[in-house]
Amino acid sequence: MAGATSADAAGEGFLSLRGLTKRYGGFAAVDDLSLDIGKGELVAFLGPSGCGKTTSLRMIAGLIEASAGRIAVDGRDLTHVPTYERDMGMVFQSYALFPHMSVAGNLAFGLEMRKLARAEIERRVREALALVHLEALGDRKPAQLSGGQQQRVALARALVIRPSILLLDEPLSNLDAKLRDDMRAEIRDIQTRLKATTIFVTHDQMEALTMCDRVAVMNRGRLEQLGTPEDLYERPASAFVATFVGRINRIEATAEGDVVRLGGEALRAARSAHGPVELMVRPHRIEMSAGAAAPPQAQDGPRNMLSGRVARSVFAGDLQHYEVEAAGRLLSVERSTVSHEPPLRPGEAVTLSWRVADTFMFERAS
């Protein structure tokens, strides 16, 4: 594609959003959203209900007009281009199948709009049906399908036109676990093969982390962080991202430069601050040893230490979950059950330790 170079030259992604905003009255459903997505990349929009994921997708597809901002694909400004010229395949949260057409008719619609030959349309419809494992149901009407089957028809209808951009609004929310895993792999596979630049909206953080190249975490209409799953997990940009992605302990404390006072104990984080803060550490990053003895200092950098007492212990198969009372609060700790060590019992004195590098610190409104 000749245009790809022009987009690269401008330092923009294949799909580029700049200051995209949607206001309803005084309320900003999407607020100043800027991001770049590379050609063929699969990016998840992850965030709680009502954070503006669907609204963003609809603006990108041209279904609602942005209050402000710019949308460009491959260097071409699409902000005022009508939906039917945008070449974006979309799976709606509500599926939005054509109720008066058969499944095959639904799939053929986009191809007919592209004025393909009858035989070619039939071939591609058959292919698409096979892709979503619905070969036998081409003649059914959408109302005669289960929710999961309808969702797969919606997915096939968006894929069959081989769009340059795929917008998927929770396309797997109605499938059972097994089918969902299959469809994730399918989507990833098709998406890679077609090099379709894809936005995948989901509530499900595991889905976002495991199948997408990068994840955009949204909250209240704003982009909190755009990064690889590892970035979000290991280097969260905000307290919201840290708590939304994965499990984490939150410890309210007061920072005094390099140290953070917590009752009588002093902890450290990777950076310094002053005033009320929240320290965060993931349960499985905390090492726990029995007794009050300090564990040997590991080679992987300085560590924080707290002594405490086991309050609760729960067996969860591959993990043992503990709640440990330390410095006057309850901390979650997870240990792998791989070593066959006998679990620690409630009431036992323990020492907790974790790397300073694994300690996130965020300012807290006092």
Q: Which is nearer to ligand ATP, 24 or 84 (CB)?
A: 24
Q: Which does 92 bind (CB under 5 to 8 A by kind): other proteins, ligand ATP, Mg ion, none?
A: other proteins
**Which residues of the shown chain bind other proteins in the complex (CB under 8 A)?**
61-63, 82-90, 92, 94, 96-100, 109-110, 113-114, 157-158, 161
Calpha distance 186→175 (Å, rounded): 14
63 touches which of other proteins, ligand ATP, Mg ion, none (CB within 5 to 8 A by kind)? other proteins
CB nearer to ligand ATP: pick between 45 and 322: 45
> Of 10, 16, 70, whose CA–CA distance to 38 is shortest?
16
The kind and range of the H/E element at 238 are none
By a kind-dependent CB cut-off of 5 to 8 A, residue 61 interacts, out of other proteins, Mg ion, ligand ATP, none, with other proteins
Work out how close the CB of 95 gets to Mg ion at its nearest, in angstroms, rounded to a whole number: 13
Q: Kindly state the smallest distance separating residue 78's Cβ from ligand ATP, in Å.
A: 19
Closest CA to 60 of 211, 227, 157, 201: 201
Least separation in angstroms between residue 52's CB and ligand ATP is 4
Residue 130 binding target from Mg ion, ligand ATP, other proteins, none, CB below 5 to 8 Å by type:
none
Cβ 55 to ligand ATP, closest distance in Å? 3
- The set of residues, in sequence order, having a beta carbon less than 8 Å from that of 115 and lying 6+ positions away, is none
Q: Which does 50 bind (CB under 5 to 8 A by kind): ligand ATP, Mg ion, other proteins, none?
A: ligand ATP
Smallest gap from Cβ 132 to other proteins, in A, equals: 16
- Contact call for residues 75 and 7 (beta carbons, < 8 A): yes
The residue among 11 and 25 lying less far from ligand ATP, judged by its C-beta, is 25
State which residue, 97 or 216, has the beta carbon closest to other proteins: 97
Q: Are 52 and 219 in contact (CB under 8 A)?
A: no
Using alpha carbons, list the distances in angstroms from residue 264 to 33, 277, 327, 354. 43, 16, 8, 18
3-class secondary-structure state, position 41: coil
Closer residue to Mg ion, CB minimum distance, 54 or 106: 54
The C-alpha atoms of residue 342 and residue 153 are separated, in whole angstroms, by 50
Minimum CB–partner distance for residue 24 and ligand ATP (Å): 4
- At its nearest, how many Å lie between other proteins and the CB of residue 277? 45
Distance CA(261)–CA(231), nearest Å, equals 28
**What is the spatial distance between Cα 178 and Cα 107, in angstroms, rounded to a whole number?**
24
Q: For Mg ion, give the closer residue by CB, 52 or 246.
A: 52
Q: Give me the residues that bind Mg ion (CB under 5 A), please.
A: 54
Out of other proteins, Mg ion, ligand ATP, none, which partner does residue 114 contact, by CB within 5 to 8 A per kind?
other proteins
Q: In 229-334, which ranges are continuous DSSP H helix?
A: 229-234, 239-244
Which residues form the interface with ligand ATP (CB under 6 A)? 24, 29, 47, 49-55, 93, 203
Amino acid at 31: D
Q: Please identify, using beta-carbon distances, which residue of 28 and 310 lies nearer to Mg ion.
A: 28
C-beta of 201: minimal distance to ligand ATP in Å? Answer: 7
Phi, psi of 86 (to 5 degrees): -90, -15
Return the structure tokens found at 254: 């007061």
Secondary structure letter of residue 208 according to DSSP:
H
- Residue 177 has what DSSP assignment? H
